[in-house]
Amino acid sequence: MVFLDPAVIRLERQENQPPTLILSGDRYLDIRIRQAFPLTAENTFVAFFDQEDQYLGMIMDPTDLDSHSTQIINEEISWRYFIPQITQIKEIHDRGGKAIFVAVTDRGQLNISMRDLRASMVELSPNRILITDEFSNRYEIPDVDRLDRHSRRLIRRLI
């Protein structure tokens, strides 16, 4: 079977601890949650792994579970996948062969530096861009069209 039956799955957790999965009555402590398509189908196709990182199975849509389990999954996903969203690009300049974006994200303003623009910027879909900086931090522009005019003009020069 490709996917687990949502009816036999429940998640629970103590505050600030990794979650526990109850699968067909069996309890799996400290499980890990991963997404099959974290960039193209967020919050769906969620896979569970036990303490030893052994694959337990996956579900297609976490909202098929009870609301508490769904909430735990969503919290785990936002814990595991940290991708600040870029809301504004103030300037782009070149310094010693590195491209530096002075950007505002939903987590605050910062400088994003990239060594190889071509490899660092991936257009996931038209207007949606994933940026990986030289330290492997990741940032996302969910929709270039929704940026302000100045930011759009800067980013369009590069894509």
Rounded (to 5) percent helix, strand, coil in the chain: 20, 40, 40
Does 58 bind other proteins (CB under 8 A)? Our answer is: yes
How many residues in the shown chain lie near other proteins by CB under 8 A? 19
Please report how close the Cβ of residue 90 comes to other proteins at its closest, in angstroms: 28
Residue 52 in the binding site for other proteins (CB under 8 A): no
| Shortest distance (Å) from residue 95 CB to other proteins | 26
**Three-state secondary structure call for residue 68:** helix
Provide the 8-state DSSP code for 80.
H
Residues from 32 through 51 that contact other proteins (CB under 8 A): 34-41, 45, 47, 49
Out of 28, 50, 60, 100, name the contact with other proteins by CB under 8 A.
Answer: 60
Number of H helices, E strands in the chain: 3, 12
Residues found near other proteins in the complex (CB under 8 A): 2-3, 34-41, 45, 47, 49, 53, 55, 58, 60, 122, 124
